[in-house]
């Protein structure tokens, strides 16, 4: 049973392979910067190789719309350098063809995510344009790859009541293994009409209640569903997340020094005070056109390790990211995002809390759960990784589902002991 004891901060990298997209979803991040700018397949392969060498848990390949990348075939081929590290690819699915699906199938991509905002064209197309039929057809073609599929839904003011109808459709037809729901953030194009489609405070709770009510039934049908934005907005733990196990994406919302973003222009960015494509202060630590990938990631890891960056308190970030709470003032949000020199001074910044201080550790692991973890590690060692996070705690990473379970060092010792019997 392999326990990776060398501490690390960065366990995930998101690679924005290009800036271009064939859709113009009104809540999307890039805003007015849609242009033909892309990261070369060579630099992407170097990033994947470095991620493998460093033992990152996951690299997410996204865009823009990644299927428009002029070197897509080379990018898919470059995933073959990965072994320990898994790769997730995100596409809107609307450009999918049988030939492209075969290329996805033959790649070493571990999981494919695609975007659908409702169970029908009327709901889905509200802010995505006339794309529902193409998205559904793309999803059905992606099923033929044999890869695990996650459907991502942006839940907004006009569709949130119908999101679980989509969950039921996905479960009934076996179209996905997971359904991840997120709220639109105040970022990019969304700033122009955010008040129109943002989720209201009561709607966060209403949507989470719908997830809670349907969770077990959907799970029994083979679909895992989660509302990733509930805790970041409200600070409350949902019944369906009242455990030590959360998605890797949820971890990145709660542990602000565990991943980096590589942009199409080569910039490597920290994520401690960032959402969408917005950052507070200057988050760029290097550029792949002037630094090697190894140097750029070393710089980011060192900055995180030294505690040189701070984050917004969760409740303050919720005000600016979701316009959630009583102190919402878009003018101040715009100021802190646009003025990299003095904007950060308008908000309180605090040290990043180590993972060991997460309130999730207050949830005890039963003896039965400990035995189950030990058994899983022993029976399926290639599926799981036990990784030390910053020297203060561990995560058990499920490479198939990309879920993580938080573990204390003493619990890891017990699990290893249980597995040796």
> In terms of residues, how long is the chain?
421
User: Among candidates 314, 150, 308, 146, which has minimal Cα distance to 232?
Assistant: 314
- H or E element in which residue 254 lies: helix 248-254
pLDDT (0 to 100) of residue 348: 86
Instruction: Say if residue 193 is in the same domain as residue 116.
Output: yes
Return the half-sphere exposure (C-beta side, CA atoms, 13 A cut-off) of residue 384: 19
- Report percent pLDDT > 90 for the chain: 82
Instruction: Say if residue 301 is in the same domain as residue 396.
Output: no
Angle at alpha carbon of residue 375, lines to 80 and 2, rounded to 5°: 50
Q: What is the pTM of this model?
A: 0.95
Instruction: Say if residue 138 is in the same domain as residue 15.
Output: yes
pLDDT (0 to 100) of residue 273: 87
Judged against a pLDDT cut of 70, whether residue 111 lies above it is answered with: yes
Q: Tell me the two tokens of residue 375.
A: 């058994």
Judged against a pLDDT cut of 60, whether residue 321 lies above it is answered with: yes
Judged against a pLDDT cut of 90, whether residue 412 lies above it is answered with: yes
Q: Tell me the two tokens of residue 271.
A: 């994520």
Instruction: Say if residue 185 is in the same domain as residue 240.
Output: yes
Instruction: Say if residue 167 is in the same domain as residue 274.
Output: yes
Which of 167-171, 247-251, 278-282 has the lowest average pLDDT? 278-282
Burial of 309 (0-12, 13-18, 19+ CB in 10 A): buried
User: Among candidates 331, 351, 352, 353, which has minimal Cα distance to 343?
Assistant: 331
User: Using 50, 70 and 90 to split pLDDT, how confident is the model at 280?
Assistant: confident
Listed residues 294, 326, 346: the one ending a domain: 346
For residues 128 and 7, what is the distance between their CA atoms, to the nearest angstrom?
42
pLDDT (0 to 100) of residue 17: 96
Burial of 282 (0-12, 13-18, 19+ CB in 10 A): exposed
What DSSP assignment string belongs to 71-126? THHHHHHHGGG-SSSEEEEEE-STT--HHHHHHHHHS---EEEEE--SSSHHHHTT
Which of 25-29, 98-102, 221-225, 258-262 has the lowest average pLDDT? 25-29
Specify the higher pLDDT residue, 138 or 31. Answer: 138
Mean pLDDT, range 323-335, rounded to an integer? 92
Listed residues 295, 328, 346: the one ending a domain: 346
Question: Could you tell me the sign of the dihedral formed by the alpha carbons of 272, 231, 236, 368, in that order?
Answer: negative
Instruction: Say if residue 368 is in the same domain as residue 250.
Output: no
Range of the domain at 221: 3-346
The CATH number of residue 97's host domain is: 3.20.20.70
User: Using 50, 70 and 90 to split pLDDT, how confident is the model at 288?
Assistant: very high
Mean pLDDT, range 142-148, rounded to an integer? 96
Instruction: Say if residue 386 is in the same domain as residue 279.
Output: no
Listed residues 302, 317, 346: the one ending a domain: 346
Mean pLDDT, range 170-178, rounded to an integer? 97
Specify the higher pLDDT residue, 250 or 239. Answer: 250
Question: Which phi and psi (to 5°) does residue 415 adopt?
Answer: -65, -45
pLDDT (0 to 100) of residue 276: 80
pLDDT (0 to 100) of residue 32: 56
pLDDT (0 to 100) of residue 24: 86
Instruction: Say if residue 290 is in the same domain as residue 400.
Output: no
Instruction: Say if residue 373 is in the same domain as residue 287.
Output: no
Judged against a pLDDT cut of 80, whether residue 12 lies above it is answered with: yes
Mean pLDDT, range 218-225, rounded to an integer? 97
pLDDT tens per residue across span 330-355: 999 999 888 877 777 888 899 999 99
Mean pLDDT, range 93-103, rounded to an integer? 97
Q: Tell me the two tokens of residue 352.
A: 């990043």
Q: At what angle do helices 41-54 and 293-305 cross, to 10 degrees?
A: 50
pLDDT tens per residue across span 198-217: 999 999 999 999 999 999 99
Instruction: Say if residue 372 is in the same domain as residue 227.
Output: no
Q: What is the overall mean pLDDT for the chain?
A: 93
pLDDT (0 to 100) of residue 420: 63
pLDDT (0 to 100) of residue 421: 55
Mean pLDDT, range 62-79, rounded to an integer? 96
Return the half-sphere exposure (C-beta side, CA atoms, 13 A cut-off) of residue 105: 13
Residues sharing a CB contact under 8 Å with residue 250, sequence separation 6 or more, in sequence order: 226, 228, 231, 241
pLDDT (0 to 100) of residue 419: 64
- Strands (E) across 231-308 are located at 245-247, 259-262, 267-270, 274-275, 278-279, 284-287
pLDDT (0 to 100) of residue 149: 98
Judged against a pLDDT cut of 80, whether residue 185 lies above it is answered with: yes
pLDDT tens per residue across span 346-386: 888 999 999 999 999 999 999 999 999 999 999 999 999 99
Instruction: Please count the structural domains in the chain.
Output: 2
Cβ atoms of 16 and 261 within 8 Å: the answer is: yes
Instruction: Say if residue 296 is in the same domain as residue 415.
Output: no
Instruction: Say if residue 252 is in the same domain as residue 372.
Output: no
174: alpha, beta or left, given left = phi > 0 and alpha = psi -120 to 50?
left
């Amino acid at each position: 049973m392999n326990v990776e004891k060398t501490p690390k901060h960065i366990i995930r990298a998101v690679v924005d392979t290009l800036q271009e997209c064939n859709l113009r979803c009104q809540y999307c991040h890039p805003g007015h910067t849609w242009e033909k700018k892309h990261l070369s397949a060579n630099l992407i392969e170097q990033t994947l190789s470095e991620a493998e060498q460093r033992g990152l848990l996951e690299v997410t390949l996204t865009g823009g719309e990644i299927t428009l990348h002029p070197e897509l075939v080379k990018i898919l081929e470059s995933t073959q350098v990965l072994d320990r590290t898994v790769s997730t690819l995100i596409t809107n699915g609307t450009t999918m063809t049988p030939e492209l699906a075969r290329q996805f199938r033959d790649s070493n991509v571990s999981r494919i995510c695609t975007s659908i905002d409702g169970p029908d064209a009327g709901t889905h197309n509200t802010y995505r344009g006339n794309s529902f039929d193409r998205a559904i057809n793309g999803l059905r073609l992606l099923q033929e790859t044999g890869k695990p599929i996650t459907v991502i839904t942006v839940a907004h003011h006009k569709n949130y009541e119908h999101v679980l109808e989509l969950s039921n459709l996905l479960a009934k037809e076996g179209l996905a293994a997971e359904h991840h729901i997120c709220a639109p953030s105040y970022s990019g194009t969304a700033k122009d009409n955010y008040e129109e489609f943002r989720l209201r405070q009561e709607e966060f709770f209403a949507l989470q209640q719908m997830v809670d009510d349907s969770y077990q039934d959907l799970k029994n049908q083979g679909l895992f569903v989660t509302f990733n934005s509930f805790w970041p907005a409200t600070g409350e733990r949902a019944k369906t997340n009242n455990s030590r196990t959360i998605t890797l994406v949820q971890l990145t919302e709660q542990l602000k020094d565990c991943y980096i973003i590589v942009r199409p222009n080569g910039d490597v960015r920290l994520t401690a005070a960032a959402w969408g494509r917005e950052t507070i202060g200057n988050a760029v630590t290097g550029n792949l056109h002037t630094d090697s990938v190894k140097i750029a990631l070393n710089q980011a890891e060192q900055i995180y390790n030294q505690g040189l960056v701070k984050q917004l308190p969760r409740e303050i970030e919720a005000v600016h990211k979701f316009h959630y709470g009583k102190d919402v003032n878009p003018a101040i949000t715009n100021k802190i995002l646009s003025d990299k020199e003095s904007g950060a001074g308008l908000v309180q910044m605090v040290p990043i809390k180590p993972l060991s201080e997460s309130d999730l550790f207050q949830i005890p692991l039963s003896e039965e759960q400990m035995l189950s973890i030990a058994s899983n590690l022993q029976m399926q060692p290639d599926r799981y990784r036990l990784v030390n996070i910053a020297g203060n705690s561990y995560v058990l990473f499920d490479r198939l589902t990309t879920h993580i379970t938080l573990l204390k060092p003493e619990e890891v010792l017990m699990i290893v002991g249980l597995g040796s019997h």
